[in-house]
Structure 1
Amino acid sequence: MTYGDIYLIPVPIGNLGDITLRALELLKKAELIACEDTRVTFFLLQRYKIPVPQLISFHKFNEKQREGILFKHLESGKDLMIVSDAGSPAISDPAEHIVKEAIAKGIKVFALPGASAVLPALSVSGFTTRQFQFVGFLPQQPKNRREILQQIAEYPWTTVIYEAPHRILKLLQELYAACGNRKICICREISKLYEEHIYTTLEEINNNPSLVIKGEFCLVLDGQTIEGETASEDLTENALIDYIKSALGFGKTTKEISRMVCLMSSLSARDAYNLVIRTKQELEE
């Protein structure tokens, strides 16, 4: 059987001028577009004077139910275009599951580069971009949320987080409790008319919550600071030992801590492991 291809098409997160020429070309030739909200995509197509093909809603509440229809379309040899309301499909938006299923079926999946809040926010943050983690929206289930907050607290480089306007203050309080006083860049309304970047600290923003008003937020949190040294620097042995002691206190395994020490320093895997073992033995004495 010859399947059609899947194209994940990013659309602007704010400024409609940010769409790419290739995205427009693919949307023009589309016979079926799976979209988060058909009304939003209808407006987008009209804005670019593109004839509106068949649109089918495809969001987190019906993603699996819609896959049968979408795979039937692909089985006919026709290509499928997938778009979100804003940004890139499968990045904190629907499409992750269908991509996984498509790969299992041998269907080709192509993702166009383009709109996302992650890289613009990271670029303007002023923090290290050598390595970073993107955690998207934090889970709402308390246990899972605590685990992610602990992961953020222990990560030695920059972290990028999404949050909805009605939950932003709660998240800032949780980050302060978990991470202490770190630098943070709060990006609001990226690429929109009232785009704003707030450069502050977790302590300051929690003391002045009025600095954060309505908008779509992307938070960029500076990396873990140990003994006053940022994670973008090669840490001293004493600073690494302090980290190891802290990680052991959190119940991390020797393997997990050794891997993190390697990332935080220029130590080899063997030297990092030996440092963890030595520190562990000293604590047990």
Structure 2
Amino acid sequence: MEKTKGTLYVVGVPIGNLGDITLRALEVLKSVEIIVSEDTRSVKKLLTHYGCGPKKLISLYKEVEVEKTYKVLKLLEEAKDVVFTSEAGCPLISDPGAYLVKEAHKRGVKVVPVPGVSSLTCALSVSGVELTKGFIFLGFLPRKKTEQKKVLENLPENLPIVIFESPHRMGKTVKNLLEILGNRECFLARELTKLHEELLWTDLETLAQRENFLGEITLIILPRTDKEESVLLKKGLSGLKKRIRELKKEGLKPKEIAKILAEEYNIPAKEVYQLITEG
């Protein structure tokens, strides 16, 4: 019986070292003629390296995601098999393609995962961070500091936070992280699997003083420990309480006071607000 629809293979590709491709991924890449990728240049390099032969390549990046999705769905509905990859790593982890995969499911297209390496799991596996209680993955943070603050201040405080960042934004982002979260222990994973790979335990304060970041970055930020919290509060508790009283006399509301003092004392607004409400 002739199949009526093609299969969409979601294929993980290396994040740097081409040797990290799986045997199954190579088998699929060699057998399927249509390959959709966030960056056709990177997948072409991979195909050439492993002699996968000529393929029909379709680029699907963020700006054309919806438009290209319908072109790919048409091919699938014509019973053509299609491979989807990201530029690097496991597709859909902070990459375009979710719309395509979801629409394929809706239309009854068979979607097959062909898993591979991810910088997220790669960084976590070599960090030594305790993960039994889970972690929070945020992908790339918003560009604006105010938007970053909204995201970070509403998170549970007892779980590690994992973010991706590009080298040209990292310097600014880490300074914002220090201001919003306070100093935290963190693990920097840079250029994973590549020649200049860097794995470094440090803290946000030290990292904020660094001038140059080269290559793609995965940053794991630990929760503040009880000891760190008590030191932070003891450091300026009497002065902080005095300022709270002063601002209350000026008629400011607790949230307004928390925002002002968070900036003055370089501590999270949540902690200041808790101190105000506890009296």
Superposition TM-score tier, normalisation by shorter sequence: 0.7 to 0.9
Give aligned-pair identity as a percent: 41
Name the stretch that deviates more: 143-152 or 27-36: 143-152
Structure 2 unaligned runs (5+)? 230-253, 257-273
Tell me the equivalent position of 1:110: 112
Tell me the equivalent position of 2:13: 11
Q: CA deviation at 1:146?
A: 2.2
| Letter aligned with residue 176 of structure 1 | L
Give distance in 2, aligned partners of 1:179 and 1:128: 20
Contact 2:145 2:176 in 1 (8 A): no
Q: CA deviation at 1:142?
A: 5.0
Give distance in 2, aligned partners of 1:33 and 1:141: 35
Contact 1:33 1:81 in 2 (8 A): yes
Q: Describe how 1:1-285 pairs up with structure 2 within 5 A.
A: 2-130=4-132, 131-141=134-144, 143-152=146-155, 154-206=156-208, 208-210=209-211, 212-228=212-228
TM-score (structure 1 length as normaliser) = 0.76
Q: What is the CA RMSD across the aligned residues, in angstroms?
A: 2.3
Q: CA deviation at 1:284?
A: 8.0
TM-score (structure 2 length as normaliser) = 0.77
Give distance in 2, aligned partners of 1:151 and 1:190: 30
Q: CA deviation at 1:84?
A: 1.5
Contact 1:128 1:157 in 2 (8 A): no
Number of residue-to-residue matches in the alignment: 234
Name the stretch that deviates more: 12-21 or 132-141: 132-141
| Letter aligned with residue 210 of structure 2 | P
Q: CA deviation at 1:227?
A: 4.7
Tell me the equivalent position of 1:272: none
For the pair shown, the structure with the greater C-alpha radius of gyration is 2
Give distance in 2, aligned partners of 1:33 and 1:71: 13
Contact 1:84 1:94 in 2 (8 A): yes
Q: CA deviation at 1:145?
A: 2.4
Q: CA deviation at 1:73?
A: 0.7
Give distance in 2, aligned partners of 1:179 and 1:60: 30
Q: CA deviation at 1:39?
A: 2.3
Structure 1 unaligned runs (5+)? 230-248, 252-279
